[in-house]
Structure 1
Amino acid sequence: MTTTRRPNLLTYAALLLAALMLVAVTPGIAKAQQSPDEYLREQNEWVWKQINADKAWETTKGKGATIAVLDNGLGLHTYFEGKDILEPEHFRGGDPGTVGNGHGGSVAAAALQIAPEATIMPLVTNAPEDLPEELKTYGESAVTEAIYYAVDNGANVINMSFGPPVDTTQEKVQEALQYAVDRGVVTVIAAGNDPNVKADPIMATDGVIVVSGSNPQGTIWKDSWRGEEVTLAAPGDTQTIVESAFDNSDKNNLIDPEPSNDYRESPGTSLSAPTVAGVLALMFSADADLDGNNAIERLIKTASGNGEWNPELGYGIVDAEAAVNADNISPVDSNPLGYPLGQAGLSLENDASDISESGTDESNQTSSSTDESSMIRIWLVAVAATLLAATVVAFLILRRKKA
């Protein structure tokens, strides 16, 4: 007769432990089986759904449009593999290999989450906090040079998700922003993560888009700045971001690590701004004839506020699908948000004389004075040359007579 042995308590415990381990590792396995794009899109579903990005993707995913990301570098992450990312350009002091702590990578990924086929232009302007003081030259010169570079090298959009440069006087940055506006490049700036503190005095500059943060409920994120500077809103509440791989151990050189596949949860208007930058990339990709002024007009007219403005969300939360496919927005000839230096064209060479009437008069007077001085110098040289020639001729005649 066959005897059937019943499992003892130890066997039951082993089976239970195996089941618990399987449950515990399943999320990790699922993550590993997904591509970085799929994983990030799944985690941040509320972000792209709130702005109707999925509907805009039926028209375009941003191919051909370029977003300049002024920040502290991208770092390495599997999410960036296969993306159209240009070689970084460095505009601050210190060793070019010195990089940041992943903030720039999170910003770039937020833009690519909305416009996955757009080109990212990484412009390193910000110094990481753990650098020696002598290498912290992030400031006005780095930001202004990066803006000019972005405009001159084909950027459609400039994104700045950071606080004010420590040495900024605002004037030089405004001149650079005017340069961008006059050439049809749209600048997007993060509003800041404290309702009581303005993140950047440059927010007060006319002509740029300042973005506050929204939450999943479609209202203002609790920690977002709100105020008269706000233009539009985009998701800023907690979402999954990439954790780029850096090694700053020697404070000077980037030790090339393996690309990270890490993510973490984080809120911030640093993510809101590139979300709008991504929408702009979709718009420029879909319409090759679209200029900066009309891109801004479309964003404003198609946002959730229906043309009404308030200090929390500005003209409302951006709507990617409506902005990309807008066909009933009347075209404009000027920037709906104004101009950094007060009027259009002040950075264009042909309009340099229009900066101010007094400036023009002074310029003409200086030019006239310079012309007169030049004529006097030419006359004196001519007289001197004539006298010299006469002297030589006279000398030769006298010499022949003596001979």
Structure 2
Amino acid sequence: MTAAARPLGAALAAGLAVSAVLLSAPAAHADQWRDQQYWLEDYGITEAWETTRGEGMTIAVIDTGVDSGHPTLSGAVVGGTDVSGAGDGGAPVDQIATEHGTLVASLAAGRGTSAEAEEVAALVEEDVEDLDEQEWEDWWEDFESALEEIYGEDWQDEVDADALDEFQETRSAPRELTQAENPDDGVVGVAPEASILSVSLLLQDPNPYGGGTEEQIAEAVTWSVDNGADIINMSLGSGFQEWPESWDEAFLYAEQNDVLVVAASGNRASGHLSVGAPATIPGVIAVAGVDESRRISADSSSQGIAVGIAAASEPLVGALPGDDYMQWNGTSGASPIVAGAAALVWAANPELSAQEVKHRVLSTADSEGAEGVDPEYGHGVLNVADAVAGDVPAFDASQYPTLQEWVRVHRRGEVEDTETNEIPEDSGVVAGPEGEPRAMPQPEATSTAQDWAGPVAVSAAALLVLAVLCMAAIHYRLLHRHQDR
């Protein structure tokens, strides 16, 4: 790792550590958390669900690892990797903010949980494979009675009949048996039918297990593209607007493969007053944070010309590793809300490119702040219903900068060596011995005003003196001749 990369890695780590702020201990009932997700109604998400819930879309969460066993993420995580050398897609060893990736994933694509379903889950966790036939019949009778106590007389309408039959035949209960089709409790993501790829990294420099932050980010982005991500969420940031040149290739790879990247703008509370990389990279949607009243968060939102849009950053709720939930603040939570919204837009409009999805998300935002693109709100506050199914202005690619164009303008290209096999005869250049540099051509001597002005002035003065003397001599001779007469 270069010396320049070390402060970048430290800044990334510091920003992430502050972005997930615990505000309260887990509540007793999952429905208490669902009631706090005000953005589901306020941002038109529940309205957008009438069109799509994100099926078929894949969101890569580049973060501290995701607990795929949490009830709200059951079935959501379809793959993952660890790029730090310290884990396997879950939270790496010695990780800071181990809950961060799970919180983020739950807001993007959490399935939600049902209190009743959790009670059923507790029933079927009992080991029944070794029961004899009579014991099994007695157990099943008690199980059906428990289902009636949980759901009421119409319990059969609440449980998947095919899954129930399979359980009775095999004594192995599928998870689907315990999940309601549209659960009303627990934290639910913006795109609850999208899939999650968990890409874990270790935000620590130096990293005792492998590459530093700079290398991990580049590898994580590339892996996400190669493994089917449509959208990449990066709820991490630095205090630097610039990014390592080594990131160019990875983010260009995402851009060229039509993968949309969404990143948190950063948090003022962590000392990041201005948006930092990777949110500053052209083509990335940089997400600012607002409170429930749509005011820019005093602590949880950085500002700058890179800001694309704002979304809820306080107060937030999310899933904790294990079976719990918590309250938290930060643009780390605003970013997956926008990533989930992009998944809904793309699922409803699969013919769009990544840039066109970005256009729908930004151009339909509810206007806030200064006219045009505001340094705090960007294009405004997220409006998911309009982004999914509303009318949008015609797409103009020139309005959206790309990393490819930025690299062309701002990165120095490599100059290719040119070969000269022969020296032109009229060049005046004499070739030196083999292996020695050629003699450089010398410019011809050029005349200047200083070269000729002096001699000309002297000559002119001499001629003038001579002319005066001649005139004097002629005048003298004429005068003398006149006297002789």
- Which category describes the TM-score, using the shorter chain as reference length? 0.5 to 0.7
Aligned mates of 1:70, 1:161 — CA distance in 2: 8
Aligned mates of 1:215, 1:165 — CA distance in 2: 23
Q: Is the 8 A contact 2:292 2:315 kept in 1?
A: no
* 1:238-253 equivalent positions in 2, closer than 5 A: 238-244=315-321
Change (3 A) 1:338 1:169: closer
Q: Does 1:262 align with 2:339?
A: no
Offset, 1:201? 2.9
* 1:32-111 equivalent positions in 2, closer than 5 A: 40-44=33-37, 46-96=38-88, 98-99=92-93, 100=95, 101-111=98-108
Aligned partner of 1:362 in structure 2 is 416
Aligned mates of 2:214, 2:39 — CA distance in 1: 33
Q: Does 1:155 align with 2:148?
A: no
Aligned mates of 1:76, 1:150 — CA distance in 2: 17
Q: Is the 8 A contact 1:140 1:165 kept in 2?
A: no
Aligned mates of 2:82, 2:275 — CA distance in 1: 23
Q: Is the 8 A contact 1:83 1:116 kept in 2?
A: no
Q: Is the 8 A contact 2:58 2:194 kept in 1?
A: yes
Secondary structure of the residue aligned to 1:203 is: coil
Aligned partner of 1:308 in structure 2 is 372
**Structure 1 unaligned residues grouped into runs of 5+:** 1-26, 245-259, 347-353, 370-403
Aligned mates of 1:273, 1:263 — CA distance in 2: 19
Question: How many equivalent pairs are there?
Answer: 305
**Aligned counterpart for 1:171 among listed residues 245, 248, 267:** 245
Q: Which amino acid aligns with 1:330?
A: A
Stretches of 4+ aligned residues off by more than 4 angstroms: 354-359
Aligned mates of 1:270, 1:219 — CA distance in 2: 17
Change (3 A) 1:292 1:80: same
How many percent identity over aligned positions? 29
Q: Is the 8 A contact 1:170 1:202 kept in 2?
A: no
Offset, 1:205? 1.7
Aligned partner of 1:324 in structure 2 is 388
Give 1 or 2 for the bigger CA radius of gyration: 2
* 1:183-194 equivalent positions in 2, closer than 5 A: 183-194=257-268
Q: Which amino acid aligns with 1:289?
A: E
Q: Does 1:146 align with 2:220?
A: yes
* 1:271-286 equivalent positions in 2, closer than 5 A: 271-286=333-348
Secondary structure of the residue aligned to 1:323 is: helix
Aligned mates of 1:189, 1:135 — CA distance in 2: 26
* 1:102-141 equivalent positions in 2, closer than 5 A: 102-112=99-109, 113-127=189-203, 134-135=208-209, 137-141=211-215
Q: Deviations over 1:328-366 (max 9, x none)?
A: 43134x37431224259x7xxxxxxx999975x727x48
Secondary structure of the residue aligned to 1:212 is: strand
Q: Is the 8 A contact 1:175 1:340 kept in 2?
A: no
Aligned mates of 2:244, 2:74 — CA distance in 1: 37
Q: Is the 8 A contact 1:56 1:320 kept in 2?
A: yes
Q: Does 1:230 align with 2:294?
A: no
Q: Which amino acid aligns with 1:218?
A: R
Change (3 A) 1:156 1:81: closer
Offset, 1:163? 2.6
Aligned partner of 1:337 in structure 2 is 400
Secondary structure of the residue aligned to 1:93 is: coil
CA RMSD of aligned residues (A): 3.1
Secondary structure of the residue aligned to 2:216 is: helix
Change (3 A) 1:65 1:194: same
Change (3 A) 1:320 1:48: same
Q: Is the 8 A contact 2:288 2:331 kept in 1?
A: yes
Change (3 A) 1:133 1:41: same
Q: Deviations over 1:221-244 (max 9, x none)?
A: 121112222110010011212111
Aligned mates of 2:296, 2:338 — CA distance in 1: 16
**Structure 2 unaligned residues grouped into runs of 5+:** 1-26, 110-188, 422-485
Q: Is the 8 A contact 1:296 1:335 kept in 2?
A: no
Aligned partner of 2:459 in structure 1 is none
Change (3 A) 1:266 1:154: same
Change (3 A) 1:55 1:136: same
Aligned mates of 2:388, 2:309 — CA distance in 1: 16
Aligned mates of 1:341, 1:278 — CA distance in 2: 26
Change (3 A) 1:133 1:289: closer
Aligned partner of 2:287 in structure 1 is 211
Secondary structure of the residue aligned to 2:379 is: coil
Aligned partner of 2:475 in structure 1 is none
Q: What is the TM-score of this pair, normalised by structure 2?
A: 0.57
Secondary structure of the residue aligned to 2:224 is: helix
Offset, 1:316? 0.6
